[in-house]
A = this chain, B = another copy of it.
Amino acid sequence: MRHHTTFRQLEIFEAIARLGSFTRASEELFLTQPTVSMQMKKLADMIGVPLVEQVGKKIHLTPDGRELAQATREIFSILDRYTMSVDERRGLKQGKLSLMAITTASYFAPRLLGEFVKLYPGIDVSLRVTNKEQVLASIADNLDDLYFLGQPPEDIDVIATPIMDNPIIVLAAPDHPLAHKKNINLERLAREPWLMRERGSGTRIAIERRFAENGITIHPRLELGSNEAIKQAILAGLGISALSRHALTLNQPDQFAVLDVEGFPILRHWYAVYPAGRQLSVVARAFLDYLLGREESPPTSPVTSSTP
């Protein structure tokens, strides 16, 4: 019968079978009822057996008709599955990926993105690097696919997947008296002049918590609004601070002394974040899987911040 029937006829037949009515099938398919009637006559004539029978005003499927309805559903299911399968793979051949990262994450995000694009050359990618406020605003507006953050927001419902270690290390000027000491304790360190990011910064909270665990309170000598400003203040001899190791650029490690302090580095993570209700595109899903499949991935599972 594949030589003589058409998918359209089978579609019309399946609608009749489901709705139990020629008229309702014609409405669903935006056809006139005579069209439906004629297509069914053609189909039944072609197969050679009645497919429906009419008792009064009601129509019922014959056993042959019921069997054909079942066969039709199987066939459509096979085709739909194939189409979805292709659509998924095509989504990885063409598509867009839009990322947003806070400034510090920009020291590794371009590299990750570059590796991914090498695998899937047909995908268009964009990466915006900006401050945390703008990242959070963009998350709330659901403007991008994924966001890189060192601390998932707690007032927005997001899915946050840890993708990389984010160690917080203590930095001092290279000629700092503690530069070559080993195993510096926290009390000794607390007596140094501290340079800190603004209150609310994830890094600052982690540092203060680490000292508080040892009954120590830090009083910053200076608060600065960016990691870059802090780095410059350290080099100018204004004090010490603790920053993400990723805050150091490739040519900066030798400019600073990384102090060997008990309780440091504080081990934190970088997270790939997206709003909780968002359906990730095939590409975004693939990128996230790619990040998780890299050798530096952490073993933990996604963290969902609490719903307000």
Which of B49, B85, B86 is the one whose CB lies under 8 Å from A86? B49
Q: Are A47 and B78 in contact (CB under 8 A)?
A: no
Q: Measured between C-beta atoms, what is the minimum distance from A200 to chain B in Å?
A: 48
The reply to whether the CB of A56 lies closer than 8 angstroms to some CB of chain B is no
Residues of A within 8 A of B (CB): 1-3, 5-7, 10-11, 47-49, 64, 67-68, 71, 74-76, 78-83, 85-86, 89-90, 93
Q: Measured between C-beta atoms, what is the minimum distance from A306 to chain B in Å?
A: 42
Question: What DSSP secondary structure best describes chain A's contact surface?
Answer: helix
With both beta carbons as reference points, the residue of chain B lying nearest to A5 in the complex is identified as B7
Q: Are B3 and A47 in contact (CB under 8 A)?
A: no
Instruction: Give bound CA distance, A6 to B71, whole Å.
Output: 17
Q: Which residues of B contact A86 (CB under 8 A)?
A: 47-49, 64, 67
Q: Which residues of B contact A7 (CB under 8 A)?
A: 2-3, 5-7
With both beta carbons as reference points, the residue of chain B lying nearest to A82 in the complex is identified as B71
Q: Are A1 and B49 in contact (CB under 8 A)?
A: no
Instruction: Give bound CA distance, A86 to B10, whole Å.
Output: 16
Q: Are A75 and B64 in contact (CB under 8 A)?
A: no
Q: Contacts A1-B79, A71-B82: A90 and B6 contacting too (C-beta < 8 A)?
A: no
Q: Measured between C-beta atoms, what is the minimum distance from A137 to chain B in Å?
A: 36
Beyond A5-B7, A49-B90, A71-B82, list 12 extra A-B contacts (CB 8 Å): A1-B83, A2-B7, A2-B10, A2-B79, A6-B6, A7-B7, A48-B86, A49-B93, A67-B82, A67-B86, A68-B82, A71-B79
